[in-house]
Amino acid sequence: MQIGVFTVGDVTPDPTDGRTPTEAERIQAMVAIALKAEEIGLDVFATGEHHNPPFVPSSPTTLLGYVAARTERLLLSTATTLITTNDPVKIAEDYAMLQHLSGGRVDLMLGRGNTGPVYPWFGQDIRDGLALAVENYALLRRLWREDVVDWEGRFRTPLQGFTATPRPLDGVPPFVWHASIRSPEIAEQAAYYGDGFFHNNIFWDAGHVRRMVQLYRRRFEHYGHGPADTAIVGLGGQFFMRRNSQDAVREFRPYFDNAPVYGHGPSLEDFSTLTALTVGSPQQVIDKTLSFREVAGDYQRQLFLVDHAGLPLKTVLEQLDLFGEEVLPELRREYAASKPAHVPDAPTHESLKAAAVAREEVPA
Amino acid sequence: MTTRKLAVISAGVRVPSSTRLLADRLTEATVAALRERGVDADVEVVELREHAHEVLDAVLTGFPAPGLRAAVEAVTGADGVIAVTPIFSGSYNGLFKTFFDGLDDGVLAGKPTLIGATGGTGRHSLALEHAVRPLFTYLRSIVVPTAVYAAPEDWAGGADGVAPLDQRIARAAGELAELVAARPAPEVVDPFADPVVSFAELLGGR
C-alpha cells in the first residue's frame, strides 16, 4: 500500500485570524509538506494543477522537480494533471524529463479539471471534456511508447515523424492513474488500458465511490488485465486529528465551516458521516481509513488532503508528525496483514521495468 | 392491471401547506383516472421541505445526501410526475427550482408531467405558464396542457364558476393519466452498469 498526501495548492485565508499566506509562502509550504512527507515515511506526494487564483500550482513538474532534488525515496505524482487542456506532447515531454531527474520516482494522475474557464483559456471547449481526455491520452501513450509517431486527431495539429524527448527512463513510461469523481467513462478508460483508477472520495459518499470502483474493477477484468480484485485502485481521504478527538473537532470546525468546496454547507458531523473526512483522534483516523477497504476492496494507494482550507503550515506539519507517529505504523501493519497475496501493489518504475525486461521489450 | 409509478413533488414551505393540499388532490385525481384506464398507480411523494437543507447542500458540495438521492431517484424513476410549487415573487419558489437545478441532464426528458401552483391571489396564475412550464420545457419533460393554479378563493368554491378547481384538477389528471397509461414503462439506465459506452466507442469519437 502506498500512503501519501496530495495538495490542491489553494491560497485560502486562515479563518481563525484572517491571515492569507502570500503565494511565495504557500509554494514554500507545499515544499515543506513534501519534505515532511518523506521524513515521516510516507510514500507519495502529489500536487494539483490549476491555472487560476486562488491556486498556485500551475507548473507541477517545476515543483516536483525541485522536490525530487531534495528527497530520495518519495514518489512524486499529480492530483491531477489536466489531460483535457494540456498539450499531450508537452505532458509526454515534461513527465519523461521529471522521470529522468527523479530516478523514476514519478507517476501521474490524469483528470479533466473542474474550472470551466480553463478550457477556453487553453483554446478548448468544456463540452469536449471527455473526448479530449480520450484522444489526448491515446496520443500521450503513443508518444511514450513509440519512438516515431505519425498522428492525426480532432484537437491538436497533426504530427508527422515526431519523437517526444527525452524518451521515458529505461524505455518504461510512467504509470498512469485516471481520476474521476462521477464519470463512468473515465473508469472505463482506466480499465481499458489496465491503468490505475483513483477516486477522490473526500467529497462524495461511500455508496457512490463503491459503484465507481466496482465498475472499474469489472471492466478491468473484462479487458483481460486480470481478476477484478487485482485492479489498481487509489482513494482520497482527509483528516484532522488531535490526541483528544474533542480538541480536533473544536480546532478544525472553523476551517471546515469556511472551507472552499464544502464550507457553509453541511455540518462537519454530517459531512464526516457521509464522506472520507475524519476529524478526531488518531485511532478514529486509523479506524475510518481502514474502513475504506469495505468500500473499494483491497486497494493500492491512499492519499490524504492535509493542507486545505487555510490551515497554517505549522499545524499541517504537526498533523503529519502525529500521523507518522501514531497512524502510519498501524495502517502499514493492518494493510500488510489483511491484503491477499494475489492482490498486487501499485506499479512503480522498478516493477514496470522488471515486467518490461521479462517481456524482452527493454534491455535488462 | 399494470402498474405505473407516480412521483409527486411538493415545494410548500408551511405545515400544513396548501401546495401539498393541491398536490394531494392532483394525485388522487390522477390515480383515479389511471384506474379508469386499467392502471394501478404506485405513488411516491417528495415533500421538498423535508430535504431543504440537503437540496442546498447538494448545490454547494456537488453530491446529494442519501435522503435527497432517494427522492431524486423516486422522481427520475417515475412514469409520471406531478410538480407543485407555491408562487413566490412571481415564480416558483427557490426550493422548487434548486431541487431541479440538482438533477443530472436529461433525466426528466420525455417524462409526462403535470404542473400545479398555489398563490396568495389569483392574479399570479399565469406564473405557471410564464415560469414553471418553461422550466420543464428546458428539462424536456412532456407537460400536459392543463396546469392547475389554486388561489385562496378556489378552496371555497366561489371563485370561478365556469371552471372550478375540481374540474381543472380532473381535466389535468385525465391528461396526465392518458400519457402515463399509454407510455411503456421507462428503461432506467444505470450509468454504472457495464458497458454503458464501450471504450471502443469512446475512442471512435462517439
Residue A188 lies in a domain: yes
Contact B146, B85 (CB under 8 A): no
Contact between A188 and B61 using a beta-carbon 8 Å cutoff? no
Phi, psi of A357 (to 5 degrees): -65, -45
CB A275 within 8 A of CB A340: no
**Nearest-5° angle of CA A22, CA A25, CA A26?**
85
Q: Do A131 and B61 touch (CB under 8 A)?
A: no
Q: Three cell numbers at B147? A: 396546469
Cα nearest neighbour of A206 on chain B:
B66
What pLDDT does residue B190 have?
78
> Which candidate, A135, A43, A46, A140, places its Cα nearest to that of A94?
A140
- The tens digit of pLDDT for each residue in A194-219 reads 999 999 888 788 888 999 999 999 99
Could you tell me the CA-to-CA distances from B191 to A126, A181, A188, A215 in Å, in that order? 21, 13, 11, 10
% of chain B exceeding 90 in pLDDT: 80
Domain B2-203 bears CATH identifier 3.50.50.60: no
Sole residue written with cell 433525466: B107
A166: domain CATH number is 3.20.20.30
- pLDDT value, residue B158: 65
Smallest Cβ distance to A189: which of B56, B63, B199? B199
Report the relative pairing of strands A301-305 and A233-241 from DSSP bridges.
parallel
Mean pLDDT of B77-84: 97
Cβ of A184 and B66 within 8 Å? Answer: no
User: Does any domain span residue A363?
Assistant: no
Task: Measure the CA angle with vertex A218, ends A216 and A223; round to 5°.
Answer: 90
Q: Domain range spanning residue A24?
A: 2-358
CA A109 → CA A42, A97, B21, distances in Å? 18, 17, 52
Whether residue A218 and residue B194 make contact (CB cut-off 8 A), yes or no, is yes
> What's the burial of A243, exposed, middle or buried (CB within 10 Å: 0-12/13-18/19+)?
exposed
Are the beta carbons of B65 and A274 separated by less than 8 Å?
yes
CB spacing of B62 vs A274 below 8 angstroms: no
C-alpha cell at B91: 415564480
**Distance between CA atoms of A4 and A348, rounded to whole angstroms?**
15
Concatenating the DSSP letter of every residue in B24-77 gives: HHHHHHHHHHHHHTTEEEEEEEEEGGGGHHHHHHHHHHSS--HHHHHHHHHHHT
- Give pLDDT tens digits for B105-159: 999 999 999 999 999 999 999 999 999 999 999 999 999 999 999 999 898 866 6
pLDDT for residue B186 is more than 70: no
* Coil, strand or helix at B84: strand
Peptide bond into A168 cis (omega under 30): no
Name the β-bridge partners of B7: B44, B81
Q: Which of B129, B106, B113 is nearest to B176 (CA)?
A: B113
> What does the pLDDT read at residue A44?
98
Instruction: Return the SS3 of A302.
Output: strand
Least CB–CB distance from A215: residue in B63, B194, B203? B194
Domain ranges in chain B are 2-203
Burial class (CB in 10 A: 0-12, 13-18, 19+), A283: middle
Find the helix or strand (DSSP H, E) in which B9 lies.
strand B2-10
Chain A contacts of B192, Cβ < 8 Å? 184, 211-212, 214-215
Whether A83 is covered by a domain: the verdict is yes
DSSP state of A289: H
Residue B57 to residue A265, Cβ atoms within 8 A: yes
pLDDT of B24 > 70? The answer is: yes
Which residues of chain A lie closer than 8 angstroms to B60, CB-CB? 262, 264-266
Per-residue pLDDT, A34: 98
> For chain B, which residues lie within 8 Å of any Cβ of chain A, measuring from their own Cβ?
53, 56-57, 60-63, 65-66, 191-192, 194-199, 202-203, 205
A364 is a domain residue: no
> What's the residue count for chain A?
364
Block residue for cell numbers 480536533? A248
Asked whether residue B17 carries a pLDDT value surpassing 80, the answer given is yes
Task: Compute the distance between CA of residue A347 and CA of residue A355 in angstroms, rounded to an integer.
Answer: 10
Query: Is the Cβ pair A265, B196 closer than 8 Å?
Result: no
Instruction: Say how many Å lie between the first and final Cα of chain A, rounded.
Output: 26
Task: Give the residue from chain A lying closest to B206, CA to CA.
Answer: A131
Distance (Å) from the C-alpha of residue A206 to the closest C-alpha of chain B? 10
> What pLDDT is recorded for position B34?
98
Q: Do B203 and A218 touch (CB under 8 A)?
A: no
User: Would you state the pLDDT for residue B157?
Assistant: 66
Residues of chain A with pLDDT under 50: none
What is the greatest pairwise CA distance in chain A? 63
Cβ contact, residue pair B192, A212, below 8 Å: yes
Which residues does residue B84 pair with via DSSP β-bridges, in sequence order? B10, B116
Q: Which residue of B has its CA nearest to A223?
A: B199
Domain assignment present for residue A154? The answer is yes
Which residues from chain A sit within 8 angstroms of residue B199, using beta carbons?
188-189, 191-192, 223
Domain count, chain A: 1
Peptide bond into B137 cis (omega under 30): no
The 8-class DSSP code of residue A231 comes to S
Q: Which segments of chain A are extended strands (E)?
A: 2-7, 44-47, 75-78, 81-82, 108-111, 149-151, 159-162, 176-179, 196-199, 233-241, 277-280, 301-305
Selecting from B60, B66, B196 the residue whose C-beta is nearest the C-beta of A265 gives B60
CA–CA separation, B140 vs B138, rounded Å? 5
Q: Each residue of A153-172: pLDDT tens digit?
A: 999 999 999 999 999 999 99
Q: Give chain A positions within 8 Å (CB) of B203.
A: 134, 138
| Chain B interface, best mutation among A192, A223, A275, by max B CB count within 10 A | A192
Let me know how many helices (H) and strands (E) chain B has, helices first. Answer: 8, 7
| All cell numbers assigned to A300 | 493500492
Does the interface predicted TM-score (ipTM) exceed 0.90? Answer: no
Dig out the grid coordinates for A100 from the structure.
529522468
Residue in the block written with cell 506526494: A45
Q: Residue B104: how many CB atoms within 10 A of its CB?
A: 10
C-alpha cell at A340: 491477499
